[in-house]
Amino acid sequence: MKTRAVVAGLGTYVPEAILTNHDLEKIVDTSDEWIVTRTGIRERHIAREDETTSSMATEASRFALKDAQIEAEDLDFIVCATNTPDTIFPSTAARVQHQLTDKPIPGVDLQAGCTGLIYGMEMASALIQAGSYHNILVIGADKLTSITDYEDRTTAVLFGDAAGAFVLQRKEDTDHGVLSSYLQADGRGGNLLIQPGGGSLMPASKESVENRQHYLKMNGNETFRFAVKALPEAVEEGLKRAGLTVGDMNLLVPHQANLRIIDAAVRRFELDPERVVVNIDRYGNTSVATIPLALQEARMEGRLHDGDVVVLCAFGAGLSWGSNVIRWGK
Ligand code: UT7
């Protein structure tokens, strides 16, 4: 029994509008058949112009707070994982605080590609275990369509918009909560998945805009090769740090980037598909929001039980990869 960060609340938000593969056929040279076979995606939700990462994050956070039965004023820290902040500064975390309450709450944005949510859970859990924080809001929110190039068929078909939020809460003498995490990053693969323009390396200019450098660029093949290795490594290393094995895992909640990457892990671990959450068909890749969306869906379907060992794992830009091992329940 230890002091741990337990998941006290979970909330999600997806925009209403749906972009189907057939809609995309009218925008780029692609086909529903290609997208389904190569990725498993059938449709994705896309945000309205006036919806931003922070507005989606705020909606998800309201649901998470309600689920945790606490008020925004009870929060003592906000970690917002995102790759598409409303603005580089001020932070999306501060924007969410402002949309939730007039009470000041410390907060930061965290950028670790699609692995950001996993990093956020570990950092919040460590802050809670260190003793100074009680309730931390961990958000994963991205409006990837704002940096998607709809003239590039190799990326245009992959991404959607969404947000998810967890309330992590300090609990003493418990078996539940975040048991362990495994975090990794290796900048040698940085150019495989990159938004080249807009930072100090390539400030916005007429040329950077004309050359479409403010959009996400990905070497799909190389990123795929990395992901099929990173996912199982993250699962095994996370479990090892908790003193557990794949056999102890009740539910795997993998980042939803490509069904073939998830299937490779299922085959490698010889998992019953019942133990793996997949919803990429309806949302596409929503970056840091895929895991809360999938976990919420599993919960709604009654697939999460008190005491279950749940493994969240992700991989993405950086390159980055990692996992959180959680014993479900408060
Ligand atoms: O969340 C962050 C991490 N991201 C990932 O993990 C993504 C990892 N990568 C992938 O999921 C896959 O590599 C993709 C889905 C991006 C691409 O699938 P692929 O099976 O690796 O396709 P490919 O890039 O090898 O392309 C195969 C063919 C090419 O045509 P040729 O050269 O064989 O004639 C492409 O031009 O498919 C073509 N292609 C398309 N065709 C129709 C590429 N995109 C499309 C498209 N529609 N949208």
Residue 303 belongs to domain with CATH number? 3.40.47.10
pLDDT class for 54, splitting at 50, 70, 90? very high
Kindly state the helix (H) or strand (E) to which residue 65 belongs, with its residue range.
helix 53-68
Annotated active-site residue 221? The verdict is no
CA angle 157, 162, 167 (to 5 degrees): 150
At residue 261, the pLDDT reads 98
At residue 149, the pLDDT reads 98
At residue 50, the pLDDT reads 96
Residue 310 domain boundaries: 179-327
Q: Is the pLDDT of residue 270 over 80?
A: yes
- Number of structural domains (the chain) is 2
User: Does residue 257 share a domain with residue 195?
Assistant: yes
pLDDT average, residue stretch 152-168: 98
End-to-end CA distance of the chain: 13
At residue 1, the pLDDT reads 77
User: Does residue 323 share a domain with residue 221?
Assistant: yes
Q: Whose CA is nearest to atom 17 of ligand 1?
A: 220
The model's pLDDT over 93-113, given as tens digits with 9 standing for 90+, comes to: 999 999 999 999 999 999 999
Strands 77-81 and 107-110: parallel
State which of 130, 153, 174 marks the end of a domain. 174
User: Does residue 127 share a domain with residue 252?
Assistant: no
pLDDT average, residue stretch 253-280: 96
At residue 174, the pLDDT reads 95
pLDDT average, residue stretch 251-264: 98
Please classify residue 44 by burial: count the beta carbons closer than 10 Å to its beta carbon, then call 0-12 exposed, 13-18 middle and 19+ buried. Answer: buried
pLDDT average, residue stretch 199-227: 97
User: Does residue 165 share a domain with residue 290?
Assistant: no
User: What sign results for the dihedral spanned by CA atoms 296, 300, 302, 307?
Assistant: positive
The model's pLDDT over 194-211, given as tens digits with 9 standing for 90+, comes to: 999 999 999 999 999 999
Residues facing residue 252 across a β-bridge: 276, 311
Exposure string over 62-98, b if 16+ CB within 10 A, otherwise e: bbbbebbebebebbbbbbbbbbbbbeeeebbbbbbbe
**Could you tell me the maximum CA-CA distance found in the chain, to the nearest angstrom?**
59
For residue 220, how far is its CA from the centre of ligand 1 (angstroms)?
6
pLDDT class for 132, splitting at 50, 70, 90? confident
For residue 56, how far is its CA from the centre of ligand 1 (angstroms)?
29
pLDDT average, residue stretch 252-273: 96
User: Does residue 147 share a domain with residue 88?
Assistant: yes
> In this prediction, what percent of the chain has a pLDDT beyond 90?
99
Annotated active-site residue 258? The verdict is no
For residue 28, how far is its CA from the centre of ligand 1 (angstroms)?
14
- Where would I find the H helices in 85-198? 92-100, 116-130, 153-156
Average pLDDT of the residues of the chain: 97
User: Does residue 227 share a domain with residue 261?
Assistant: yes
Annotated active-site residue 255? The verdict is yes
Q: Is the pLDDT of residue 245 over 80?
A: yes
State which of 174, 198, 230 marks the end of a domain. 174
pLDDT class for 330, splitting at 50, 70, 90? confident
At residue 136, the pLDDT reads 98
User: Does residue 159 share a domain with residue 61?
Assistant: yes
Is residue 248 a contact partner of residue 184, using CB atoms and an 8 Å limit? no
d(CA 289, CA 283): 10
Residues facing residue 112 across a β-bridge: 114
d(CA 253, CA 278): 8
